[in-house]
Amino acid sequence: MVITYHGLEFFKLQLGDLTIALNPPSKESKFKAPRFGADIVLISMNNPDMNGAEQMSHGDRQPFVISGPGEYEVKEIFIKGFPDSANTIYTLSLDGMNLCFLGALSSKELPKETVESLDDIDILFVPIGGHGVLAPPEAYKLAVSLEPKIVIPMHYVDADKAPLKAFLKESGEEVKAIDKLTIKKKDLEGKEGDVIILSAV
């Protein structure tokens, strides 16, 4: 699986010919992002910066759009959405790995039943930018409590490094950004809450 970050909360997940987009910005957003064909689009919040499913059509490829809580199976991928006020938290299994996308989460604590459903997370996407989502200390505390193997921070603006610096200070790690994450299940061995920073491309 290859994970590419396009800024704010927009990620591209690729596994073979399958492409999944997470929270792509819409035409109305000030955040400009590349357009590509996706098979599945997950929208966690109805906000112009995150609900640009229409941007993910390309040629014959029309994405299956998921924009709220529920259980879904698309192209043999199991996806669950959990409500969190106006936001939806998603879990999905890809290539034998469990991913959890917290979206534009603002709750410092998750409902007990949600936490119980988020068991055994391999890769956690957590918002850290404040201004309507978790602030860095809250984000790190929640990330640690969910016990993922890998943590990928998101929802901060590249020009403002303060949230990222604050998050890394909480983690006590020095991490250099990488352009994309190429990962297989076996690569997760021995990892416990390792922070990975992806440069927005």
pLDDT digits (tens, 9 = 90+) for 51-94: 999 999 988 889 999 999 999 999 999 999 999 999 999 999 99
Q: Is position 146 within any domain?
A: yes
pLDDT band at residue 161 using 50, 70 and 90 as cut-offs = confident
Q: What is the DSSP string of 44-78?
A: -S-STTT--GGGG-BTTB-PEEE-SSEEEEETTEE
The pLDDT of residue 32 = 84
The pLDDT of residue 159 = 58
Q: Is position 149 within any domain?
A: yes
| Residue 8's CATH number | 3.60.15.10
Q: Is position 82 within any domain?
A: yes
Q: Which residue has the higher pLDDT, 174 or 184?
A: 184
pLDDT band at residue 158 using 50, 70 and 90 as cut-offs = low
DSSP E strands in the chain: the ranges are 2-5, 11-15, 18-22, 40-42, 64-66, 70-74, 77-84, 87-94, 97-101, 123-127, 150-154, 180-182, 194-195
Handedness of CA 112, 113, 119, 122 (dihedral sign): negative
The predicted model scores a pTM of 0.96
Q: Is position 11 within any domain?
A: yes
In which domain, by residue range, is 135 found?
2-195
Q: What is the DSSP letter of 28?
A: T
Number of domains in the chain: 1
Q: Is position 201 within any domain?
A: no
Q: Is position 63 within any domain?
A: yes
The pLDDT of residue 157 = 75
Report the mean per-residue pLDDT for the chain.
94
Q: How far apart are CA 110 and CA 14, in angstroms?
A: 29
Residue 171, H or E segment: helix 162-171
Q: How far apart are CA 44 and CA 143, in angstroms?
A: 18
List, for residues 15-28, the tens digit of each pLDDT value: 999 999 999 999 99
The pLDDT of residue 55 = 94
The pLDDT of residue 107 = 92
- State percent of the chain over pLDDT 90: 88
